């Protein structure tokens, strides 16, 4: 994670937050994608946990 943040010259959450403040379309899309990915992952993990139990 640290290497990725340095290689990309910043972190994804910081890019999303600062992008919202300047209304940058790319940052808003990136932030929405991060949230959608987190939601999809949590739903998948919950489904997997319920299936095993």
Residue 27 has a CB neighbour count (10 Å cut-off) of 19
Q: Is residue 5 helix, strand or coil?
A: helix
pLDDT score at 2: 63
Is the pLDDT at 15 greater than 80? The verdict is no
Name the band, by pLDDT with cuts 50, 70 and 90, for residue 20.
Answer: confident
Cβ burial, residue 24 (10 Å; 0-12/13-18/19+): middle
* pTM summary value: 0.69
Looking at residues 19-29, what average pLDDT do you find? 86
Is the pLDDT at 12 greater than 90? The verdict is no
């Amino acid at each position: 994670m640290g290497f990725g943040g340095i290689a990309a010259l910043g972190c994804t959450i910081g890019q999303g937050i600062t992008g919202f403040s300047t209304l940058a379309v790319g940052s808003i899309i990136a932030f929405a994608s991060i949230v959608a990915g987190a939601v999809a992952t949590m739903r998948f993990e919950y489904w997997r946990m319920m299936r095993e139990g």
